[in-house]
Structure 1
Amino acid sequence: MSRSWERKVQKNQSQINKQRKKHGQAPLMAAKSGGVKLDTFKGRSYLMPAFLLLFILFYVIVTVTSDTYKQTGNMFWLTVACYVILALLFTLRRPYLSVGSDFIRSRRFTGDRSIYVNNIKAISSQKGYIVVEQHKGGNWVFSRVMNRFPTDQMAERLRTFSAQHGISFTEK
């Protein structure tokens, strides 16, 4: 089945589900789930929140010990609160890698992105790191040190994914 046909079916099914929801009926089976199994591996981001908290601590110490502290108003504390909230946001938004039937999806800095099989050049694995090389665009690096990914389990799943689609998989 072509992708455009699948998109049309998903679009029509989502419209029908919206109508059924308005009438209080149960939604039809979602077209997105349609038997597609996703293996998701979640990490934990701790370096960026730690950096932000250290930065705001430095900012508070420098500002409070200066002579101009008395002139700072509520905007100073609002800025501190915003940085703390941003650090909390980075902590709660966990990075992940999802492996589907013909794509790999991950949360990048700008949002969720997918790489389809025809754009994957190679996948390499070494202790603590997974690198997905693309034909166009930068490489995706998943690190055990940076984001606490379970790289051993990811390597096993990506090995079977690459064998399925004829993508070169190297282990160093």
Structure 2
Amino acid sequence: MQSDGSVTFKGRSWFLPMLLMATGVFCLISFRGLAGQGNLYWITGASYIFLAVLIYWVRRPFIKIGKNALTSRRFGGDRTVEASQINEITIGKDAVVVQIKPKGNRWVFTRVYNRFQMDELNGKMKEFAAKNNVTLKEE
């Protein structure tokens, strides 16, 4: 818990790092026996693997539950949505879905894909929904 009363849950993103790692290994394996090969193939393969490790360890997905707003890391950067902009929150055993009003966007936080601790996250989302009069659905 932070000084402003917000709680941050951090997960681990594994899909993109796995894809980058597979691409790096593919580059290292498939280009190793080519004639006239320079060091650039090795640098390319190693760069994909380095980027995969960097994304896995540094760029972690998170959701910050504040008093009247949610903040999450999206692909283009951190996004904050006020409670008045949330249409509903759906809580399941393995996922939390936040439906946003303006464009109908959805933020999905899962146990499998994002590696969040769902029991704690579900409890805090229930408190947030009750405190801010947001529609809550449980599956």
Q: Same fold (TM over 0.5)?
A: yes
Q: Offset of 1:62 from its aligned partner?
A: 1.8
* 2:125 is the counterpart of 1:170: no
Distance of 2:24 and 2:121 partners within structure 1: 35
* 2:99 is the counterpart of 1:133: yes
Residue in structure 2 matched with residue 73 of structure 1 by the alignment: 38
Q: How well do the aligned residues superpose, as a CA RMSD in angstroms? A: 1.5
- Between the two proteins, the alignment pairs up a number of residues equal to 136
Q: Offset of 1:59 from its aligned partner?
A: 2.3
| Structure in which a larger fraction of residues adopt helix | 1
Q: Offset of 1:74 from its aligned partner?
A: 2.3
Distance of 1:38 and 1:151 partners within structure 2: 17
Distance of 1:105 and 1:70 partners within structure 2: 51
Flag structure 1 segments of 5+ consecutive residues without an equivalent: 1-32
Residue in structure 2 matched with residue 91 of structure 1 by the alignment: 56
* 2:59 is the counterpart of 1:113: no
Whichever residue aligns with residue 154 of structure 1, its letter is L
Normalised to the residue count of structure 1, the TM-score between the two structures is 0.74
| Structure in which a larger fraction of residues adopt strand | 2
Q: Offset of 1:158 from its aligned partner?
A: 0.8
Post-superposition CA distance 1:84-143 (Å, at most 9, x none): 121012111211111001110111112111111121110001111000000124200001
Query: Which structure ranks higher in relative contact order (CA pairs < 8 Å, sequence separation ≥ 6)?
Result: 2
Please tell me whether Structure 1 or Structure 2 has the larger radius of gyration of its CA atoms.
1
Distance of 1:84 and 1:55 partners within structure 2: 8
Secondary structure of the structure 1 residue equivalent to 2:52: helix
Residue in structure 1 matched with residue 116 of structure 2 by the alignment: 149
Q: Offset of 1:169 from its aligned partner?
A: 0.5
Whichever residue aligns with residue 149 of structure 1, its letter is F
Identical aligned pairs, as a percentage? 35
Post-superposition CA distance 1:21-77 (Å, at most 9, x none): xxxxxxxxxxxx8x5211011111222212211122122222224xxx232322212
Flag structure 2 segments of 5+ consecutive residues without an equivalent: none
